[in-house]
């Protein structure tokens, strides 16, 4: 919050390592465990994928742990972060982090009033919106005709704040030569952040949507905010989990007096 970031995460050592892990048959953990709470500038949120990745990076980089897997106890359940090399085998000095997070169900429940409000807030017309879904996290997932439509979007954030639901995820299919499967942007003025640069948790419903649309469960996503970001995704349909893989770097260090 003091660094003008969309989400601030707070870590504490978990009291013990006996818990229910991410899978039903995983009841006891030998991995380092931390309690993780995430706060936007205005409210506490159940899950922040981007913040969780940053928290894992900080722990791995600090040398406080000697494991390649960390488990986080959050309001969304137990999440795991795994340190891997680029080829997925082991870990090196320059490493990727793979988050194992629960899926977020999506539905088709919305009405014409919501469509009208969202269209005006996004500066589009109803005809240019391909589809709208509602997620279990109370976000609207809005599908536009193309990645260019997503990139060029100029939302009215005051109007977005008045729309029903928590926030709006805007997405569109990527051009064939881009190296990506889809582009997305993440609008959350109700959480004190007009646009999240990269939203890990939003890729949980996005993974389900694009897996169904494209017929594959391994996806390469572009976060099309001004700062931008790249997310590698794998959807485990049977276990209802999403694997999000990305990289992080330490931009600043400091002490917060509380």
The domain that holds 84 is classified in CATH as 3.10.310.10
Q: With cut-offs at 50, 70 and 90, classify the pLDDT of residue 86.
A: low
pLDDT above 90 covers a percentage of the chain that reads 52
Position 72 pLDDT exceeds 60: yes
Rounded to an integer, the average pLDDT of 175-196 is 94
Instruction: Tell me: do 110 and 226 sit in the same domain.
Output: yes
Instruction: Establish if 127 belongs to a structural domain.
Output: yes
Position 213 pLDDT exceeds 80: yes
Instruction: Establish if 246 belongs to a structural domain.
Output: no
pLDDT at 126: 64
Question: Which of these, 158, 168, 160, lies nearest to 202 by C-alpha position?
Answer: 168
Answer left, alpha or beta for residue 157, where phi above 0 means left and psi between -120 and 50 means alpha. alpha
Q: With cut-offs at 50, 70 and 90, classify the pLDDT of residue 20.
A: very low
Q: Do residues 226 and 77 make contact, with C-beta atoms less than 8 angstroms apart?
A: no
Rounded-to-integer distance, Cα 149 and Cα 214, Å: 19
Domain, as residue range, for 25? 8-103
Instruction: Tell me: do 226 and 215 sit in the same domain.
Output: yes
In a 3-state reduction of DSSP, which class is residue 122?
helix
Instruction: Establish if 252 belongs to a structural domain.
Output: no
Return the higher-pLDDT residue of 5 and 196: 196
Rounded to an integer, the average pLDDT of 197-203 is 90
Position 209 pLDDT exceeds 90: yes
Instruction: Tell me: do 40 and 110 sit in the same domain.
Output: no
| Integer angstrom CA distances of residue 151 from 16, 172, 221 | 45, 9, 13
pTM of the full structure: 0.82
Other beta carbons within 10 angstroms of residue 13's beta carbon come to: 10
Tally the domains of the chain.
2
Instruction: Establish if 131 belongs to a structural domain.
Output: yes
pLDDT at 252: 81
The per-residue DSSP string of 167-207 comes to: EEEEEEEPPTTSS-SEEEEEEEGGGTEEEES--TTTHHHHH
**Of 36-40, 85-89, 126-130, 169-173, minimum mean pLDDT range:** 85-89
pLDDT above 70 covers a percentage of the chain that reads 89
Rounded to an integer, the average pLDDT of 161-173 is 95
Instruction: Tell me: do 132 and 58 sit in the same domain.
Output: no
Instruction: Tell me: do 54 and 65 sit in the same domain.
Output: yes
Instruction: Tell which of 103, 127, 148 closes a domain.
Output: 103
């Amino acid at each position: 919050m003091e660094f003008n970031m969309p989400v601030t995460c707070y870590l504490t050592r978990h009291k013990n390592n006996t818990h229910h892990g991410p899978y039903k048959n995983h009841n006891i953990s030998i991995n380092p465990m931390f309690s993780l709470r995430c706060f936007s500038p205005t409210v506490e949120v159940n899950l922040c994928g981007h913040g969780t990745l940053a928290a894992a990076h900080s722990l791995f980089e600090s040398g406080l742990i000697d494991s390649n897997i960390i488990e986080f106890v959050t309001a969304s359940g137990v999440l795991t972060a795994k340190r891997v090399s680029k080829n997925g085998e082991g870990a090196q000095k320059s490493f990727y982090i793979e988050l194992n997070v629960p899926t977020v169900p999506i539905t088709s429940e919305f009405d014409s009033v919501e469509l009208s409000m969202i269209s005006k807030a996004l500066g589009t017309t109803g005809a240019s919106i391909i589809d709208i879904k509602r997620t279990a996290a109370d976000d609207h997932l809005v599908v536009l005709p193309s990645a260019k439509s997503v990139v060029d979007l100029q939302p009215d954030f005051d109007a977005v704040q008045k729309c029903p639901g928590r926030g709006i995820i805007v997405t569109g299919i990527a051009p064939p030569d881009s190296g990506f499967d889809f582009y997305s942007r993440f609008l959350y003025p109700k959480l004190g952040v007009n646009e999240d640069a990269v939203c890990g948790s939003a890729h949980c419903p996005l993974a389900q949507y694009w897996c169904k649309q494209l017929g594959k469960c391994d996806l390469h996503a572009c976060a099309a905010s001004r700062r931008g970001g790249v997310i590698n995704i794998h959807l485990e349909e049977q276990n209802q989990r999403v694997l999000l893989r990305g990289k992080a770097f330490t931009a600043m260090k400091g002490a917060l007096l509380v």
